[in-house]
Structures are given as C-alpha cells and as structure tokens.
Amino acid sequence: DVTGSQTEVGESKNTFKYELKSNTKASNYNITKVEGDLKVTAEDGEVVVTITGHSDSVEYDGNEKTVSGYDVAITEGSKYTTDDFTFNGTAEAKGTEAGTYPMNLAADQFANTNTNYEKVRFVVNDGTLTITPKSINPDDEKNGITVTDPENSIYDGNEHINGLTVTDSKLNTTLVENTDYTLTYSGDLINVGTVTITIKGIGNYTGEFTKTYQILPREYTVTTNTDFKVYDGNPLTAGGTVNNLVKDETVVFTITGSQTNVGTSDNTYELKFEGTAKAKNYTHGKDSIGTLTVTKKSIVPDGPNTPDEKKTGITVTDPKDSKYDGEEHRNKPKVEDTKTKATLKESKDYELSYSEDVTNAGTVTVTVTGIGNYEGSFEVTYEITKRHVTLTSADDEKVYDGSALTNDTVTVGGDKFAKKEGATYNVTGNQTEVGSSENTFTYELKSNTTASNYNIEVKFGELKVTPFTDKVTVTIKGHEDTVTYDGNPHSVEGYVITDISNKLYKAEYIGVKGYARAEGTAAGTYKMNLTAQQFSNTSASFDKVTFKVEDGALTINPKSITPDGPDTPDEKKTGITVTKPSDSKYDGEEHKNKPTVTDTKTDRTLVEGTDYELSYSEDVI
C-alpha cells in the first residue's frame, strides 16, 4: 500500500506498507524496506500579470472627483491567480481642478507570493482621472456663468483697460482673471470709440465670448487774457489757454487779437486740431474771452528809486563789448518794454549817438534818445577790448648728429594781430647735445601796430635732441664643449658676440649680469641657461636695443663599458675590468650569478641598474 504524496514545491519520502502473501513465510526472507524520494520543482515558464488601472473623465464642477481600482489579466493557460500576489500601493486617483491625475501604479507595488512560480512579471498600465474644463460662455445654457458689463470711460490720453466680473453661480464664486480666464482687448484702448473684450476660459474653464464698452469725448474750453500797456508802436497781444486738454497733448492755438493804437478790443483766437490732439476725442464747451487796452508811455528806464506805480518797465541791455580789430565798432544796446514783452526799434522808437573814438581799445559812450511815441534819453557804455595774442616759437626734434638744432618759425596764435598789423622776430634758441632747451626769441611791433591795443604773451617752444631711434639687435652665442665621461667634473664658460645689426653700436655698451657657465660630471647635457634678460644696453644714444641669445652647453658622452682586450692600444683603453660570476651547483633553484665590473680609471666598482644592466640565457636552473 503506497501512501507517499507531494503537491507543492518541495521534497518528501514515497512511503508505503506491505503484507506477505499467505503462501509466503517471513522466516524465509531478510526483507529491507527502502522508500524513494518524491520532488516537485517550480514551474519554468514566465507568468505575465497585466495590471490596468481604472480611468474616468468628468467635467469640472468644483468638487473632488475620484477613480479607484484596477483590472488584472494573467497569461492565458496559467493557473496563477489574483490570490498569488500582493499589492502594497493605493489604486486611486483624485482631484478637484481641471487636469489629469495619475494613480501612479508601478510594477514594484506588486509582489508574487506563490513559490510554485519562479518567473512572474508584472506589467502595469496606470489609471488616470481626467477633469475637463467647464464652459465659461454665459450664453451656454445651465452653466451658471454670469458677467457684468464693463463701464464706459471719458478720453484722457491713457489706455482704458476696463474690467468686468465673471461669476460661477453654481459654485457661488467670483472667477479670477489669469487663473480662470484671460482678457484680450481689441480696438483702440486710448481714443474715442468702441473697445471689444474677448473673455477666454483657462484652467478650470474653457470657451470664449465678447463684451464691449465706449471711450467718450472730453470737453475743452478756451480762455484769452486781458492786458494793457503804454503805447510803444507795436501791437499789444496777450496769451490764452486751451483748458482741459489731456496733459502733453497739443493743438494749433493762435491768438489773433491785436491792439496797436490807443483803445480796447477783444482778444480773439483761432484753434485747429493740427497738433497731437485729435478732434474726435474732444467736444467744445463755453469760452472766456479777454480784452486788450493800449495807453502812452516814456522810454526812460526805471531807476533803482523809481516808485512801483511810476515804473515804465523799460529795460536796457548794454551793447556787447567788441575786440579791437582796427575797424570802427558802433555797437547797439537792446531796449525792451518788459510790460509788453516788446523789443523797441532804432529809428522808429529811439536814435543812437556815440562818443568820438569807436576804433581803439577803451570805453565808448552811447546816448539813447526816444523818438516817435517815446520821449527822454539815457546813456550806456561798452568796451573795445584788447586782443590777446600768443607768440609761440616752434617745437623741433631730431636724432643727435653733432650739429645744432634750430627752427626760426614763430606762430601767431590766440586772437592774432588785426589785419595788416603784426611784428618781426629774432629767434636765438638752439640745441646740439642730447637733451632739450627753450627755443628763445625776441620780437618788435610794426610801425602801424599800437601796443595798447594788445595783450601779448610769449611762449617758447622746445628744441629736443634724441638718441638714435633705429632698432639694434645684438646676437650672442654661448660657448659649447663635448667630452667623454671620465668620473671627473667638466665645465665650459663664456660667450661670443656673433653679430650687431648697427655698426654704430659697440660691444662696450653691453651690460651683463649673472654667469655664462655650464658644468657637470655624469654623462648628459648641461645648459648654461643663458638668456636675453642677462644682457642690457648701457648707452643713452640707443633706446631700442634687443638681445638675441643662443644658449651654450656642456655635453658629457657615456664611456664605453667594453673591457680592454690584450691588443687594445693604450690611447683607446677604457680601463674597464670584469670579474666573471661564480659557478653554482645544481639544486633545482635559479642561479642568476652576477659579475663584478670595475672602472680602473675612475677607481670605482660600477653599480647594476645605475651603470649597466644584466640579461641571462634561458636556462639558469
């Protein structure tokens, strides 16, 4: 009777019982009972478990929405079930605002718990909740959206971006610009006319609609001033203003009112919309027009003690000063009536007379006498000033050549002499050696030139002798030597000047610092490290000297390590001797025995790895 059994993955004994038949005697047998092994292994094939999260799509209504759960699909024909794995995540997506919300399902949230299956793979398709935006158009039925009309504005030269209020009555909330919707303005936002607003839903809202508002004309008025003055033969005019124009906007505004003779008239005006203001942006209101009145007056300027009630408002600007030029200067004053803002005219309002000398430097007196509609007289003065003349000898420069540098040129500057006037010059400045000095001179005025009409300033130029300016190149080469290693120190020193590009430059002009020496004992190349910076120019006659240096060097060549033979000539002997390696007895180990190499000329035993290397034949055992 066999009772052994194994279902799950694992191993157990195949148990059984037996009973001898009736014709079989136990005493005739030695019976050994051996139970076999029963073994169940895990399924070899891969099981694919596909997890698909639930998804849903709803319209935004301000409330939180949820979708949860997932569907499971298992490889066809497999006995694997949903009881064979666990899930440690949250299969839920939720949200309130318009948008897409993932469950964030992932394969690592699922784990196989059935050991009968070794290869279980979870493929996850995430679930989502989609909340679509709500229509913002108030014309759409039953969406609960209401919108206020934007207010109209009066033209003021500024943009009028008038707002409005959008309400979602179903959510009992006022929507927020740039969160729930955007406003786009079309049309002219500044000038009179109609502006259209396009309201477009964003975020939790979608769709669009339009609203309009008006920019209305602005009222303006004109005020002209009332004014009066003492008669001066000129039209009396007064200003005016255009009221309530937008700041910095302009119209062509002309005062046409005028009163020349004694009397009174309206201060009229003309206005045209030909400036920056536009006629369509304005409407005309009621004006305030002033009057113009003219009376007689005196030309005598007010004095410092004139009572205010008797002041005429006459001001005089003294004639401008003139600079002496050999010609007559009958300079004129400027007479103004500050009360009428008029400039009076010579020969119409007054006459001028002058003192005797109006040519040479000095003070000129002018008498102003009123004529026509003016009476009285007064005096003013002005100056004929001296000319400021600079006499400057020439600057000059040359490279030193042993001869005197001179330059007889004298330049007349400043105001210069008047026409046909001037001076003669005696230039005495000179410079021979390297350096500089003043280019001195004296002068004498011509017979037609009066000293009192001039301020004369003398300036000496500079005569300068400079060093040679040609570039000089000095080429220097360090000494070199080559020897063979003999264990003793060797050196090479010094240099040679191989070339100087300018024959005027001498070797004694060269300054040297440092050493020109290379030294060494071991085989190798030793540089002097000679550089151009070690050489300098010591002559003031040359300011562009460069040094081109080729470094010197000592080369010590390696000595031959080959031992002398019995026939080696004395002059070629190296002094190398070799003691052969000792012999070894076989012992199963490697025997890399070493020779001794000696340089008898340097009296030293050479060192392996420093002076020579050893290599051996293949078998050293």
Long-range CB pairs of 562-568, under 8 A, 24+ apart, other chains included: none
Judge whether residue 44 has pLDDT over 70: no
Q: pLDDT band at residue 401, thresholds of 50, 70 and 90?
A: low
Q: pLDDT band at residue 93, thresholds of 50, 70 and 90?
A: very high
pLDDT in tens, 328-374: 999 999 999 887 788 999 998 899 999 999 999 999 999 999 887 78
The residues facing 67 across adjacent strands are 93
Cβ-proximal residues to 25 (8 Å cutoff; 6+ apart), any chain: none
Only one residue has tokens 């939790």, namely 204
Q: Which domains, from first to last, does the chain contain?
A: 10-40 (no CATH), 47-132 (3.10.430), 134-216 (2.60.40), 218-296 (3.10.430), 308-385 (2.60.40), 387-466 (3.10.430), 472-557 (3.10.430), 573-621 (no CATH)
Judge whether residue 612 has pLDDT over 60: yes
DSSP class of 118:
S
Rg (CA), the chain: 60
pLDDT in tens, 447-463: 999 999 999 999 999 99
| pLDDT number for residue 8 | 63
d(CA 591, CA 602): 30
Q: pLDDT band at residue 263, thresholds of 50, 70 and 90?
A: confident
Q: pLDDT band at residue 86, thresholds of 50, 70 and 90?
A: very high
Cβ-proximal residues to 365 (8 Å cutoff; 6+ apart), any chain: 354, 355, 379, 380, 381
d(CA 261, CA 276): 36
- C-alpha 373 chain-centroid distance: 69
pLDDT in tens, 243-253: 999 999 999 99
| pLDDT number for residue 41 | 56
d(CA 404, CA 429): 10
Judge whether residue 440 has pLDDT over 80: yes
- Whether 597 contacts 604, CB under 8 Å: no
d(CA 440, CA 426): 9
Residue 572, helix vs strand vs coil = helix
| pLDDT number for residue 597 | 93
| pLDDT number for residue 13 | 79
Judge whether residue 621 has pLDDT over 80: yes
| pLDDT number for residue 42 | 55
Neighbours of 204 (CB within 10 A): 24
Task: Give Dmax (Cα) for the chain.
Answer: 185
What's the 3-state SS for 333-376? CEEEECCCCEECCECCCEEEEECCCCCCCEEEEEEEEECCCCCC
- Would strands 36-40 and 10-14 be described as parallel, antiparallel, or unpaired? antiparallel
Work out the average pLDDT over 8-34. 81
Q: What is the mean pLDDT of the chain?
A: 91
Alpha carbon separation from 156 to 86, 249, 347, 608 (Å, rounded): 73, 10, 52, 104
Judge whether residue 40 has pLDDT over 60: no
Judge whether residue 239 has pLDDT over 60: yes
Judge whether residue 478 has pLDDT over 80: yes
Work out the average pLDDT over 144-155. 95
d(CA 388, CA 390): 7
